[in-house]
Amino acid sequence: MECLLQKTEMKLLSTWLVLLIVNQAISILKTEEVTWHPTYHLAPPKGWINDPNGLIYHNGCYHAFFQYNPENNKEGTKYWGHARSYDMLNWEYLPIALSPSLEDDINGIFSGSAVNIHGKLVLIYTGVSDNFNKQRQMVAISSDDVNFEKRGVVIIKDKDESNFRDPKAWFQNGSWWVVMGSQTTDKLGEVLLYSSNDFFNWTYQGVLAGGNESLGYMWECPDFFTINGKQILVVSPQGIKQDGFNYQNLYQTGYFVGDWEPGKNYTIKKGFTEIDHGHDFYASQSFLAPDGRRIQISWLDMWESVFAENVTGWSGMFTIPREISLTDSGDLLSKPIREILEKRNQNTDIFDTIISSNQMLTLNNSVFSSEILIEFNFLNSSCQAIQLFLKEEPTIDEGVVLYVDFELNRLFMERYYPKYGLDKSNRSVAIDLSLSKLSLDIFVDSSSIEVFVNDGVAVMSSRIYPNNNQRKFSVAPVNGYVNISLISYDIVVKNQ
């Protein structure tokens, strides 16, 4: 009884603290000017979104479906929202595609994928029922790419159905295939494989890949595709413990590289590797553009984190669509889609200068919907570190700092927004500072920052919550001087 009372007291205290933070945020928003809804990232006009679903190019349009709660700006019963675009940056929001309505999806519409079958847009998704204890795979078909007719359950897992979700389907060698996120009986993550001749009758083909205790207790949102003759398996494990600079978020998204063909086992050649090293990146999904590029989009958020924007009526957003490729050594490269080049308006001259530790270069006083290209020339530099600030002033603690550490050979991203409940924390990625140059392609939107390092060798993505007067971008070396060249653009996109 004493333990129960303690738990009750802790729960009441936790609820009180959340309410306090929310009330403080509302009070601050009433007195300080903030604009957080993104301009060139997909986010809901209102309500909540999380995982991207059903990404596909179909009938001349890019379609993005997403986990959606239209009635509340917090997580709740899931629907599938729907948007389409001609360039993956300007999005038109369409009516809700899927709503809970059948016995097998009455508790929610969880993640899934989309395919083209005889010219029709077909969705395969996880229907949830029995208080989330039943997770079954279901199909819906559209004749107009907007309205969908449900066709019911097509895959049921034997025995435990409580962790069996997120089907990703594709066509290969005359058959349909689908991978499923799952959990073993001894609570380890795994990906299951099924095949079908008609997309409605599926045969279990076995475990495609499985983890161990070091790789978490559940694997969500699998994605499986081929690049350069290698098969890439992307998963989002839950329950990986932090290991030094790795796995610092609550959950991760990463990839394996291996060999597979129908009828054979998946042979892994490169072990699990994180895709993005920022605070907010989860549930990646990919698809093929009509020109053959593999495009990846992720949820630019993290479970059980602060969603300060929900006091303004919406929560959640997606990353910039990224073109992904594979190096000869098996490393995944991520670059912003080239369509974004057409949205640039140059807003600064090109700076090419040397700055010393008693100087600071301010590029822009209002980095809002922007791209900043920076290159450091180490052949003409001598310093211990380089700091880049997105703040009201560099001397003020609140805001974002990017920090190139020459001793640790790492790029750090630190953010701090205490009045909105975000404590000071950093994420980092290893960088090769033996090279003569370091290039950073930095995208700042209303409430996000994405940093592409050395043409996509590494990426860091995080949510940020600056007031409108906290958007000054400055650069300064530490204990020495640095040769820097940079240029800034406005990104002009208008979502409907």
Q: Are 142 and 80 in contact (CB under 8 A)?
A: no
Predicted local distance difference test score (pLDDT) of residue 27: 52
Question: 143 — phi, psi (to 5°)?
Answer: -105, -10
What is the chain's alpha carbon radius of gyration, rounded to the nearest angstrom? 23
Predicted local distance difference test score (pLDDT) of residue 254: 98
Predicted local distance difference test score (pLDDT) of residue 287: 98
Structural domains of the chain sorted by starting position, each given as residue range(s) with its CATH number in brackets: 47-336 (2.115.10.20), 340-491 (2.60.120.560)
Q: Are 238 and 188 in contact (CB under 8 A)?
A: no
Q: Are 416 and 422 in contact (CB under 8 A)?
A: yes
Q: Are 341 and 476 in contact (CB under 8 A)?
A: no
Predicted local distance difference test score (pLDDT) of residue 24: 54
Predicted local distance difference test score (pLDDT) of residue 150: 98
Predicted local distance difference test score (pLDDT) of residue 343: 96
Predicted local distance difference test score (pLDDT) of residue 495: 64
The letter for the amino acid at 352 is D
Which residues have a catalytic role annotated? Answer: 51
Predicted local distance difference test score (pLDDT) of residue 349: 82
Name residues whose C-beta falls within 8 Å of residue 63's C-beta, 6 or more positions apart in sequence.
54, 55, 56, 57, 82, 83, 84, 114, 121, 145
The rounded average pLDDT for each run of 10 residues, N- to C-terminus, in the chain (496 residues) is 40 45 51 86 96 98 97 92 97 97 98 98 98 97 98 94 97 97 97 98 98 96 97 98 97 98 97 98 98 98 95 96 97 98 91 91 91 95 95 95 97 97 97 95 98 98 96 95 95 79
The letter for the amino acid at 405 is D
Query: Can you read off the two tokens belonging to residue 382?
Result: 């001598």
CA-to-CA dists, residue 191 to 27, 103, 114, angstroms? 46, 26, 19
Predicted local distance difference test score (pLDDT) of residue 122: 98
Q: Are 260 and 191 in contact (CB under 8 A)?
A: no
∠ at Cα 494 (491, 496), nearest 5°?
Answer: 155
Q: Tens of pLDDT along 375-409?
A: 999 999 999 999 999 999 999 999 999 999 999 99
pTM across the whole model: 0.93
Query: Can you read off the two tokens belonging to residue 396?
Result: 């003020």
